[in-house]
Amino acid sequence: MGVCITGIGVVSAIGMSVNENLNALREGRTGIGPLHYLQGTKASLAGEVKASNDELRAALGVGTEYVSRTSLLGLQAAREAWGDNKRSGVIRTGLISATSVGGMDRSEVFYKDYLAQNNPDYQLLTTHDSGSTTERIAKELGITGYINTLSTACSSGVNAIMLGARLILQGTLDRVLVGGSDALSGFTIDGFRSLMIYDDQWCRPFDDSRAGLNLGEGAGFLLLEGEKSLELTGNSPICNVSGWANAADAYHQTASSPDGKGATLAIENAIRRAGIGLDQISYVNAHGTGTKNNDHSESVALQNVFGDRVPPFSSTKAFTGHTLAAAGAIEAVFSVLAIQHNLIFPNLNYRAPIAETGLVPATQLETGVEVHAVLSNSFGFGGNNSSLVLTKYE
């Protein structure tokens, strides 16, 4: 039976729930646009979640103002994935979240006042550390015990899912809520601008003219259950988490290797772990950030693994923006939706293949296909590469 997914939740620039996200994906509607809630940044476009912190707090019933947007977004998605499940004294339950910025959205408010000596509110810093964003989500959901946070830049979300699956298989936990969350912040927008990979126009993943990414924000969560938990909860599995792998590129601090070494290893090992053939992968939800370097390196890795039979693939980042640590979790939720509804999502904004590789992504919504297994890639800074294989529950 392995590890089953029984609940999903997502919030992103294209919607506040699984249904809203699914509708936007079907309709080819992007959430990337000018920033409305986060003011004072130099980004012309980003994938912002369409709700203020106050609106999120009110909707979630969170009283304190000392809560990061990262926690609020995470809680929104985690609640949806958790659904009506109950706490249990018998089912050992854990929570693993992933974040790269933690409470940076609050810390930069503090630090601005601190530099200006304008009566800074030190209490804001209690939400700074990444672990505290997860502790806040756990507290609101009433989960105690195994509570953990991973931070491996843009691959974090997939790594949280992988760790959760391993904890179940090793018998340490019976069920675990896994995912990732990151809020937009001036810090990350300036950071990617300083790397000169922030596109002032709408990002164009896998297009030959691509010139960088647009940041986004959001959260994705999935409820994973093992056999014992399923017997007790009676939940219906949606999908299996069948394969996963993490590998280091060990090439450069920020750039991916031109031969796609780490990415190739991650993809190959994840598919091997899933125990399925290469030809059984129905769809690849690519990392596809829209940067020159990532999309080239990822294309090379796909060709390394699949040769001239690369499965239909697309990046959904032209919908959501690059949501950093949340990306792997949000895209895992999208991958579940692909399996659940037999869909292949379009790669928006694509015109011409990358000259060096010639790979053409799916550009239209595909509805007439059987989607049995999805490979989802997430590659990050420091050469951290992760891949996940989800399969239809049978």
Partner 1 sequence: MSKPALYLSAASTISHQPTFGNPGFSAALGPVEASSALISPDYKAYIDAGLLRRMSKILRMSVACAKDCVGQAGIGQPDAIVVGTGLGCLQDTEKFLNTSLTVEGLLPPTSFIQSTHNTMAGQISLSLGNHGYNMTHTQNTLSFEHALLDASMLLREGDRHVLVGAADEHIDILDDIAGRLAFKSDAPLTSGASFFMLSAENQGNAKASLADVYTSGGAGYGQEEIDAFLDRNGLQPGDIDLLLYAGTPAAGVPVQDAKRSLDYLSLIGVYPTASAFALHYAMDLLGANSEVRNVLICNTLRKSNLGLTLLKAVEA
Partner 2 sequence: MDSLKEDLKKQIIEQLNLEDLTVADIADDALLFNDQGLGLDSIDALELIVLLEKYHGIQLTNPEEGKEAFKSVDTMAAYIRKRKAA
Which amino acid is present at 189?
I
Site track for partner 1 across 174-193, x = CB under 8 A: ------------xx--xx-x
Asked if 195 is part of the footprint of partner 2 (rule: CB under 8 A), the reply reads: yes
Beta-strand pair 313-314/283-285? parallel
Which amino acid is present at 224?
L
Displacement of CA 352 from its chain's centroid (Å): 26
Asked if 259 is part of the footprint of partner 2 (rule: CB under 8 A), the reply reads: no
Nearer to partner 2, 37 or 187 (CB): 187
Least distance (Å) between residue 62 CB and partner 1: 16
Q: Binding segment for partner 1 among 15-23, 69-77, 274-282, 382-390 (CB under 8 A)?
A: 382-390
d(CA 26, CA 326): 21
Asked if 119 is part of the footprint of partner 2 (rule: CB under 8 A), the reply reads: no
Interface size with partner 2, residues (CB under 8 A): 7
| Residues in the chain, total | 394
Q: State the DSSP code for 328.
A: H
Nearer to partner 2, 221 or 379 (CB): 379
SS3 84: coil
Q: In what order do the strands lie in the sheet with 283-285?
A: 93-98, 175-182, 218-225, 3-11, 239-248, 384-392, 373-380, 283-285, 313-314
**Which pairs from 366-370 meet CB under 8 Å and 24+ separation?**
366/312, 367/342, 367/343, 368/342, 369/282, 369/312, 369/342, 369/344, 370/282, 370/342
Least distance (Å) between residue 197 CB and partner 2: 9
Per CB under 8 A, the list member of 166, 228, 292, 372 interacting with partner 1 is 166
Nearer to partner 1, 244 or 350 (CB): 244
Asked if 202 is part of the footprint of partner 1 (rule: CB under 8 A), the reply reads: no
Residue 21 site contact among partner 2, partner 1, none (CB < 5 to 8 Å, cut-off depends on kind): none
Residue 259 site contact among partner 2, partner 1, none (CB < 5 to 8 Å, cut-off depends on kind): none
Window 196 to 255, contacts with partner 2 (CB under 8 A):
196, 252-255
Structure tokens at 329: 């979790």
Nearer to partner 2, 66 or 251 (CB): 251
Q: Which residues contact 165 (CB under 8 A, 6 or more apart)?
A: 3, 224, 241, 244
Residue 342 site contact among partner 1, partner 2, none (CB < 5 to 8 Å, cut-off depends on kind): none
Asked if 355 is part of the footprint of partner 2 (rule: CB under 8 A), the reply reads: no
Contact 276, 373 (CB under 8 A): yes
Q: Would you tell me which residues interact with partner 2 (CB under 8 A)?
A: 194-196, 252-255
Q: Would you tell me which residues interact with partner 1 (CB under 8 A)?
A: 100, 102, 107-108, 111-112, 115, 122-123, 125-126, 128-132, 134-135, 138-139, 143-153, 159, 163, 166-167, 170-172, 186-187, 190-191, 193-195, 246-254, 261-262, 265, 380-384
